[in-house]
Amino acid sequence: MRYWWVNHKQTSQYEISGGFLWSPMYKADGKSNYFYNTLRQASPGDLVISYANSQIRYVGLVTNFASPAPKPPSFRQAGENWDKKNGWVLPVEWRALKTPVFPKQYIEVLRDTLPKKYSPISPVTGKGHQGVYLTEVGEQVFNVLKVGFVSEPIAVFFDENRKDKVLDDIDFAIEKNILVDQSLSETVKQATISARRGQGLFRKRVSEFEKSCRLTGVDTPELLIASHIKPWRVCETAEQRLDGANGLLLTPNADLLFDRGLISFGDDGDVLISNLIKELDLRKLGVEQACLQKVGGFHDRQKIYLEYHRKRVFIGGV
């Protein structure tokens, strides 16, 4: 388990009510930002302190890995200068504290436990650092600030039904935009929406490139899922969402690993494995040996999408 702290005065009301954290992938100048990349380092079961308006009113449990996603519709005018199309969304189940905690009151105790680099607050004044979003803090920091926190195990308030709600909300908003897009025919609109679930025209087109599961070799159609390589929600056009080259046929276990960014594929067919997935889990899923073998080469059009998956979806080396 890792412990995190998020400074999000500007967006806290939307993120708390929506059950997530979101950041753009890059700064406005296109450069990388440490505090955005940390969303990809958080794992299910990690704890997050919510800091806004000089106080801590919520503590959260990370319920899934971060996924590429456009700016949530609920943000409205917040972050007008952020990239609206390319971001990370991290599902978090939030719980309100019985009594708000003011870190400034504990600064004498906190001072020596705050991280030397990327501290969320000033060790001198106890005020929040501007420009810091999600940053890791040690267990000691969390323990000091646990004064007033809920006493029951944090997993008690985890709602399994909300785990993917934030992603579903974003997808539904995209579907609404597709339905009112006057540049698309009704046939294309319906095909594009069906493609989100790996159905219809998209599956047919993927089958023109793929005949079996890339990882396991299973070729029974009823056991295969047509999975997008570049996620449906971050595709820029209907053409990308319906492009057969933007898909693989995968068995459910392989699809879950690929979708969560726990595995990816090199252009030459190497299987890339995230350090966040345990070897024992791969063995229990029945794919340990398959992950050690090459899966065959890819079409040049597929390689374009695979590059995106390796850079933006695969959780490796972050």
**Is the model's pLDDT at 151 over the cut of 60?**
no
Burial class (CB in 10 A: 0-12, 13-18, 19+), 236: exposed
pLDDT number for residue 75: 86
CA angle 127, 62, 98 (to 5 degrees): 55
Burial class (CB in 10 A: 0-12, 13-18, 19+), 303: middle
Per the listing, tokens 């990239």 go with 83
Q: What is the pLDDT of residues 191-232, one digit of tens each?
A: 999 999 999 999 999 999 999 999 999 999 999 999 999 999
**Hey, what are 123's tokens?**
């060790």
Between CA 197 and CA 191 the distance in angstroms is 10
**Is the model's pLDDT at 14 over the cut of 60?**
yes
Contact 25, 67 (CB under 8 A): no
Contact 313, 264 (CB under 8 A): yes
Q: What is the pLDDT of residues 107-149, one digit of tens each?
A: 998 999 999 999 999 999 999 998 899 999 988 888 888 744 4
CA distances from 159 to 2, 65, 253 (A): 20, 16, 23
CA distances from 238 to 219, 310, 313 (A): 28, 22, 20
Q: What is the pLDDT of residues 241-280, one digit of tens each?
A: 999 999 999 999 999 999 999 999 999 999 999 998 999 9
Q: What is the pLDDT of residues 20-63, one digit of tens each?
A: 999 999 888 888 889 899 999 999 989 999 999 999 999 999 99
How do the domains of the chain map onto residue ranges? 3-160, 181-313
Between CA 92 and CA 300 the distance in angstroms is 37
Class of domain 3-160: alpha beta
**What average pLDDT does this structure show over 3-22?**
94
**Is the model's pLDDT at 161 over the cut of 80?**
no
pTM of the model: 0.84
